[in-house]
Amino acid sequence: MSHPLFDRHRKTLESATAAIRNRTYWSAYPEVPSGKIYGETAKQDGLAAFKARLGQPFELDQPGSIGRVGDEASPFGLSLGVNYPKADPDALLHAAGAALPDWRDAGIEARTGICLEILHRLNQRSFEIANAVMHTTGQAFMMAFQAGGPHAQDRGLEALAYAYEEMSRTPEQVTWQKQVGKEEFVTLNKKFRLIPRGIGLVIGCSTFPTWNGYPGIFASLATGNAVVVKPHPGAILPLAITVEIAREVLKENDLDPNLVTLVADTVDAPITKDLVIRPEIKIIDYTGGSAFGDWIENNARQAVVFTEKAGVNSMILDSVDNLKPVSGNLAFSLSLYSGQMCTTPQNIFIPKDGIRVGGEQKSFDEVAQAIVGAVDWFLGDAKRAAEVLGGIQNEATTGRIAQAAAQGGRVLRQSEPVRNEAFPEARVHSPLILQVESGQKDLYMREMFGPIVYIVATENTEQSIKLAAQTAREHGAITCGIYSTDEDVLAAAEEAISDAGVPLSCNLTGQIFVNQSAAFSDFHVSGANPAGNATLCDAAFVANRFRVVQSRAPVTVEASSTA
């Protein structure tokens, strides 16, 4: 039972499926925000579409709207003034539930085809979404375009490809014949139905609403579930546009748009906890802080729960050929989006006696100063600084910088406000770099989200590796990096860090950074330490979102002859 949209996008799906098998580089949606690719007017059209949203009610014709809600503020100082339907959960969940049977019965190809079309439309709207991501998360435009647009779409497609593969494993029907006597057979016709779990809840985060939201949305939707999207109150717009587009595509295909709905709230009147424990919610995808993630894991007993929480990422310096490309690479990693990526290193472990650089030993201070100097140089250019740092999403993060500086450690680099020429009101602060001793675990062995970096003086690399692994085991970690010229050190780190469930990036220099995670190739979050219980993406991320239920009946002589 094929579907026109499935046929239209089949090549994309096949390429995605091949990519997740061989894990070589592949991308469906171009990351370059070029007019040649997206259309010459795409950039200004997207900006205009975004601006037209400002100060306006965001209309979604979903049921159970009981007023308006929304209070987003751009970290770049722009007043958004957008409000969204305030949802009555009873009415909304009832409508979502009512949409399920037709969606289930539409079949694998129809559901997959419609999801592919939604992704295609999202891609076409990448510039508009980029502006929405920029002015909610604080990401600078280029990053907002790439991470919030094509890379997010790639992650959604990746989940979709896994879902399609899992759903296609089992045939719809089979004739089963068993010999039960010398000339006696039992012949059964068996039908296998995919039964969705019900309604999935996707809880978005404030920093990467689409990148972290799309995998759960498409994994749940493709496998026959309805999806209620609950964005972070600070980053509603990107997901509201996403919901709008999904509903459009569903409607065009004579399907109930209430399969995808939005529930918005504010920081002052949060409603996520109430949703999380609703009996109708059978799947939860959560991205956000660890405390609330842990609460969900422990309290949403009625649902299958996938979490991507927070961690404390480590960088281990052991030995390098040349310090400059290393400190330069690190400076970019530490500065990018002001350290607000879940993949940004927080702790840099350096032996207290320093490291080998090329032929000679450099002292701890020299290495630490090289990193500080690289950050200084990197942010010395105001335009580049603005483009890389972006804005601080949450006021609380700004407060945390001062708090960190006051709590202890030696300040190697003071955090300072940075002026963004284009957005003078933007909330921008450069990274704070502190030096601490390996024994000061109360300072560095905890998550300090934002542009806060600890350079930790250790006994030696062995201790550095041990502390990085311990941090991951106890507090979670999503990335770890190491610089070493010694194969044995690299092997030991790989063993210890992998065992703590953290992917390891070795000796990255040039245009590749520890923060980056590529769809179809890199597994984001391992599910093997407290930073989350799931991976983007693997089979485990999709296989339990639906169940197979069969029926079987004897094939009778009459039935055979009429078949």
Residues that bind a second copy (CB under 8 A): 21-25, 166, 169-171, 174-178, 180-181, 184, 186, 188, 190-193, 195, 197, 297-298, 301, 490, 494, 497-499, 501-512, 518, 521-523, 526-528, 535, 538-540, 543-544, 547-554
Which of 307, 126, 281, 277 has its CA nearest to residue 215? 307
Q: Which CB, 73 or 506, lies closer to a second copy? A: 506
Sort residue 338 into left (φ over 0), alpha (ψ -120 to 50) or beta.
Answer: left
Q: Which CB, 25 or 380, lies closer to a second copy? A: 25
Distance, in Å, from the CA atom of 396 to the CA atom of 401, rounded to the nearest integer, reads 9
Q: Which CB, 74 or 314, lies closer to a second copy? A: 314
Using the structure block, give the residue that is written with the tokens 């990422």: 313
Q: Which CB, 410 or 547, lies closer to a second copy? A: 547
Beta bridge partners of 390: none
| Spatial contact of 335 and 430, defined as CB atoms under 8 Å apart | yes
Q: Which CB, 48 or 195, lies closer to a second copy? A: 195
CB of 519 to a second copy, least distance (A): 12
CB of 439 to a second copy, least distance (A): 26
Contacts of 31 (CB under 8 A, 6+ apart): 145, 146, 149, 150, 151
CB of 168 to a second copy, least distance (A): 10
Q: Which CB, 21 or 273, lies closer to a second copy? A: 21
Q: What is the DSSP letter of 532?
A: B
CB neighbours (10 Å) of residue 68? 13
Cα–Cα distances in Å, from 518 out to 161, 162, 472?
A: 15, 16, 21
CB of 123 to a second copy, least distance (A): 19
CB of 538 to a second copy, least distance (A): 6
Contacts of 218 (CB under 8 A, 6+ apart): 115, 118, 119, 156, 157, 159, 160, 163
| Spatial contact of 520 and 536, defined as CB atoms under 8 Å apart | no
For residue 128, give both structure tokens.
Answer: 């508009």
CB of 282 to a second copy, least distance (A): 9
Q: Which CB, 76 or 520, lies closer to a second copy? A: 520
| Spatial contact of 135 and 74, defined as CB atoms under 8 Å apart | yes
Chain center to CA of 260: 19
Q: Which CB, 104 or 352, lies closer to a second copy? A: 104
CB of 125 to a second copy, least distance (A): 25
CB of 75 to a second copy, least distance (A): 28
